[in-house]
Chains A and B, each alone.
Chain A
Amino acid sequence: MSFIKINKISKSYVDGMALKYAVKEMSFNIEKGDFLVLSGPSGSGKTTLLNLISGLDVPDSGGIIILNENLAELNLSLLSDKERDEFRLKNTGFVFQSYNLIPVLSAEENVYFTLQLLGVSKEERKLLAREMLDRVGLKDLYLRRPSQLSGGQQQRVAIARAMVSKPALILADEPTANLDSSTAKQLLDLMVDFNREFKTTFVFSSHDEQVISYAKRVITLKDGILLSDTKKNF
C-alpha cells in the first residue's frame, strides 16, 4: 500500500486575465521511506506540489490520500483547516529555502517548538532538541538566536526542527539553494542517514544537481505536468 497517493490533482491560479495551471491532473504514488526529488525549472509547479502534499494548500480537483500512523487513509482535501494543521504537526516536518526560523526563539527553542506543541515534557524535549542539534553539528550553539547564526547554521536548525519529532514525512523546498556546496553536502548526508535510520519519507523540490544526485527517485515537472518519474538503484 502506497504511503501517499496523488490522484489527478490540479491547482490553477489567475495570471492577469488568464487561468494558468501550476499543477495539472498529476498522479503518482510515494512509498514509505522514499527519498524523492521533484525537479524542474522555475515555474514548473514543484513548490505548489509540495504545498499540496503537505496540506498547506488544497487542490482545485483530485485528491491526495495519505496513510496515517494507524494505516488509515486520510484524504487531505477533505480535511478542515484545523485538521490539516493537526496533521502537519503530527506527521510532517518542513525545511524551507529561506530557513524560516522563529526569530525570537533560540536555536534550541526553535527545534523543540513542535515538540512543545505536541505536549512533550520539558526535560524530554530539551534533551531531544539538543541531541538533534548535536547531530546537525551545532553543539554549543543551543542558545543562539537565528540572527546570531550564519545561513548554513540556520538551515541546520531548520533541519533539526523538521526531524526532531521523527515525522513520517519531511518536505524540503529548495533546502540547499542558499548554501555552499560543502554545507549542502553535509546536510544532505544527514538527511540520507535519517531516511535510512527512521524510514522517514523525504520529498524535496529542487533543481540542484547535487540534491538530485542523492535522490532515490526523481520526478521531473514542466509547466505543471509530470514529464518523467525515474527511480535509481543504489
Chain B
Amino acid sequence: MSKFFSNYFILLIISFRNIFRNRNRSLLTVLAVAVGIVSTSFLTAIQIGSRKQIQDDAVRNMLGHLRVAKLQSFDETTALHRIDKPKEQDLQILSNITESKVSERIRANAVVLTERESRNIIFLGVVPKQEIGVSVLDPRFSIKEGRYLSGENDEGVIIGNSLSVRLKTSLGKRVVLLTQDSNGKSIERGFRVIGIFKTDLKSIEDSYVVTGLNTASSFLKFDNQISDLSFLINDTNKISEALDKLKDYFKNQNVTNQDITVKTWEEMEPFLLAIVKLQNGVLILWYSIVIVSVFFGVINTLLMTVVERQKEFSLYRALGLGSNLIIVNVFMEMFILLLFGSFIGILLSIFIIQILLSGGISLTMFNDGAELFGIRSIIFPYFSLPSAINFSIILITSCLVGIYFPTRNASKNRPTEGLVR
C-alpha cells in the first residue's frame, strides 16, 4: 500500500509543478473552462429566473398552482358552471391538507363599457382578505390609485391601469358590465371604479374587473355558489402531492357537485408550459454548444501538452514507470486544471449573477415581445449551484475522456522513439 501511495504522491507533485511550469497553457485551460461555466451559469440563471417568473406570474394572475372547478369551467368562463361555496371549516381543512392559501372566486366573461369605449374582460368576484399574498390583487403592492376592496360586500370595482387608459375612464367614474347570469339571462349593471391596480404585465391589467365576492354572487345570481377555488401552494415542490390530496379529499367527501375537477397551472396554461419546455430545450442546446467549444479548446491545449511531453513520458518509461501511471499523471494534471477552472467559473458566476445582476436584467426594449411569452420587462436571474456543478462534472468528464486515448497512445509509444527527440 505504501508503494501505491508513494507512486501517486510523486505523480501528484509532478502534476502540480507542471501546472506552474507551463503557466500560459494552464491559464488558458482554466480560462476556457471558467468562461464555459460562466456562460452556461448565466444562461441557466436567466432561464430559471424567467421560468420562476412565468410560473409565479401565472399562478398569481388569478390562476393558482391548483384550481378546483367544474370541468367545463376550465374551457368556458361563464356563470353557468359553479361549485358549492365551502364552509369556513372546510376551507380551513383544504388549506391545511394542501399546505396552501386558498381563494374562493367567482368569474364570468363580460363586456365592460364606458361612455366612449368597451372591452371584453373577465368579471371577478373575490374575498379581498383571501387574495393577500396570493394574487396580483394583493393591496400591498398592486393598488396604484384609490383603494382596495373593503370586503366581500364591497359594491365598487377595481380595474387595471392599462384597462382604465383603454376605456378612457378613471377613478370614481362608473363603468357598465354586460354579461349572463347563472340562468343564462343577459344582465347589466353599473359599478363605480374605486381603485386602479398595476402589475408587471399589461395583459393582466387589461383582463380583469374585480369586485367583492358577494356583490358578484348577487349580480350573477350564484346563490351561495362560486366558480372555483384557487390554491397557492407554499412549497412549489409539493404541487403534485397537494394535487393528489385534493383529489382524494373530493373523492372521500362524495360531494354532490358533479364533474368537480382539479387541475394544475400547467394543465390550465399549456402555452406557458410549452414556453418553459422551449427554454429548457434552448438551454440544453446551449449546454451542448458550450461543451463542444470548450471541449475542443481545452482538448487542443491538452493535446499540445501530451505531444510536448513525449520525451518526458519516454524518460518515465525508461526509469520504469508503467504507462498506466503516466496516464494517471496526465489525468491528475488535467483534473486539477479543470477543477480549478470550474471553481473559478462558479465563483465568477456567483459574483456576476448574485451581485452584479441582483437588480435584474432590463428587457424594456423588448417589452411587448417578452410579454407575449409571459416574461416581465425585468428578469431576475437565479444562480443554480447544482446546475453549475452538474455542468462542471459533464465538462470535466468529457475533457478527461477526450484526452484519454491520445495520452494512452503517447504513454505506450516505445521509449526509444521519445528519447531520441
Chain A contact residues, CB within 8 Å of chain B: 51, 54, 56-57, 81-82, 85-90, 92, 94, 96, 100, 102-105, 109, 113-114, 116-121, 161
Contacts and interface: CB of A to CB of B under 8 A. Distances in A.
Contact of A85 (B2, B7, B323): B323
Interface in B5-37: 6-7, 9-10, 13-14, 17-18, 21
B277 interface: no
A51 B320 CA distance: 13
A57 B314 CA distance: 12
A116 B312 contact: no
Looking at B14, B317, B318, B412, the one whose CB has the most chain A CB atoms below 10 A away is B318
Interface stretch (B225-233, B291-299, B359-367, B413-421): B413-421
Band of interface residues on B: 20 to 34
B68 to A, nearest CB: 70
Contact of B419 (A89, A90, A100, A116): A100
B322 interface: yes
B17 A82 contact: no
A90 B322 CA distance: 12
A104 B14 contact: yes
Contacts of B328: none
Interface in B259-317: 311-312, 315, 317
A114 B145 CA distance: 84
Contacts of A161: 319
A85 B18 CA distance: 23
Q: Which secondary structure dominates where chain B touches chain A?
A: helix
Contact of A94 (B311, B318, B321, B322): B318
A92 B317 CA distance: 12
B322 A102 contact: no
A117 B321 contact: yes
A22 to B, nearest CB: 11
B18 A96 contact: no
Given A56-B415, A86-B322, A102-B14, A117 B7 contact: yes
B29 to A, nearest CB: 17
Contacts of B173: none
A51 B323 contact: no
B140 interface: no
Nearest to A110: B319
Interface in B394-421: 412, 414-416, 419
9 contacts: A56-B415, A57-B415, A81-B323, A85-B317, A85-B321, A86-B320, A100-B315, A104-B21, A113-B319
Nearest to B20: A104
Given A102-B312, A105-B14, A89 B320 contact: yes
Nearest to B417: A57
B27 to A, nearest CB: 17
A88 B320 contact: yes
Given A57-B416, A100-B419, A117 B320 contact: yes
Nearest to B19: A104
Contacts of B17: 104-105
Contact of B7 (A81, A92, A96, A116): A116
